[in-house]
Amino acid sequence: MGSQKMIRTGIGVLSISLLLVGCGGEPSRKIEPVQQTPVAASKVELITTPEFSGESAYQYVQKQVDFGPRVPNTATHKACSEWLEEELDRLGWKTNVQKATVTAYNDDKLSIYNIMGQWNPEAKKRILLSAHWDTRPYADRDVKDRNKPIDGANDGASGVGVLLELARVLSEAEDSLNIGIDVVFFDAEDYGKPQSSMIGNQASNTWALGSQYWSKNLPISGYKAEYGILLDMVGASSAVFPREYYSLQYAPAVVDKVWEIAHAMGHKDYFSNMKGNPVIDDHLFVNQNAGIPMIDIIHYDMFRNDFGHFHHTHEDNMEVIDANTLAVVGDVVLQVLYQENAK
């Protein structure tokens, strides 16, 4: 069963039963797929930034997938966590790994690792960037091998790949940033209750277990950031990023800032002004528990009401990953950081 959705059409309002599960569940709301958010003419003066390599980001995604599914309590999960920490450390970032045990919807006790890297750790002005690095323990949207874990190339590895490339770029940049940057790879985001047993909002808190823990137990005393940007499912060739509902609710100015920059860079086809659905994702709990205004750059096709045909299936593999999409997202985030640095 799914939550009730209302779709506006040109001839009336059609009520259908539809379950939307992103990186987590979604509460019911009206979907208006033709409604665009008016945006004023861009006044952004673009700044020259270091070169972001989509191919390098692609290799970072490949490296994660090569470990195998990164499901908590598995050897591949532990091995990947160690590599992520080592890579941030190798790039000169101050690392902090938050280890914890959380309880999944089925009462499984999960050993998790929220991996944090800091650039300019002493800087007072800080921007938070994040992605989840774990993978779905089952392919519950597939027609075969539904109880087996997925590669999670897009759902998980793509956001991490972009952030690792950003970490590399900043570590090698001749004109370094004066502001502080914090990268957090959240764990256990995708261990939520399977779609088949979800009814409306009842399973919302079973998703994003790592960010729920992190946001309630900040690993750095008094930690604050000006705002945050979450990257989720940002690697597919068909990617479109609407203005996600909770992002607009909690951090509308940040959404406007990022989308205006993206449009000034010529990326309107990726960064849509369409109002998106509410997605239960890591940013929601960072907003609610840590009080840090955070947005979600997440692929969602509003016309098909889907995160992609490969979402939570075994087709979420390297074949869906496009280095060009990774480069677009990376370039936009990098421009955002350098715009902040210039203030």
CA distance linking residue 24 with residue 116, whole number of Å = 22
Q: Please report whether residue 97 resides in a domain.
A: yes
Q: Please report whether residue 13 resides in a domain.
A: no
- Supply the pLDDT for residue 32: 39
Q: Please report whether residue 17 resides in a domain.
A: no
4 DSSP 8-state letter: E
- The number of folded domains in the chain is 1
Q: Please report whether residue 307 resides in a domain.
A: yes
Residues 6+ apart with CB under 8 A from 96: 115, 116, 117, 118, 219, 220
- Supply the pLDDT for residue 204: 87
User: Domain holding 148: CATH number?
Assistant: 3.40.630.10
Q: Please report whether residue 4 resides in a domain.
A: no
Q: Please report whether residue 21 resides in a domain.
A: no
- Supply the pLDDT for residue 33: 42
- Supply the pLDDT for residue 191: 97
Q: Please report whether residue 224 resides in a domain.
A: yes
Q: Tell me the pTM.
A: 0.89
Q: What is the pLDDT along the chain (343 residues), one digit of tens a residue?
A: 222 222 222 323 233 233 344 465 443 333 334 455 555 556 899 999 999 999 999 999 999 999 999 999 999 999 999 999 999 999 999 999 999 999 999 999 999 999 999 999 999 999 999 999 999 999 999 999 999 999 999 999 999 999 999 999 999 998 889 999 999 999 999 999 986 655 455 678 999 999 999 999 999 999 999 999 999 999 999 899 999 999 999 999 999 999 999 999 999 999 999 999 999 999 999 999 999 999 999 999 999 999 999 999 999 999 999 999 999 999 999 999 999 999 8
Which of 193, 181, 184, 191 lies closest to 214, judged by CA? Answer: 184
Cα separations in angstroms, 5 against 32, 86, 207, 274, 276? 10, 44, 21, 17, 13
236 DSSP 8-state letter: B
Contact (Cβ atoms closer than 8 angstroms) between residue 216 and residue 286: no
Q: Please report whether residue 122 resides in a domain.
A: yes
Residue 194 lies in domain: 33-341
- Supply the pLDDT for residue 36: 52
Query: CA-based Rg of the chain, rounded to a whole angstrom?
Result: 19
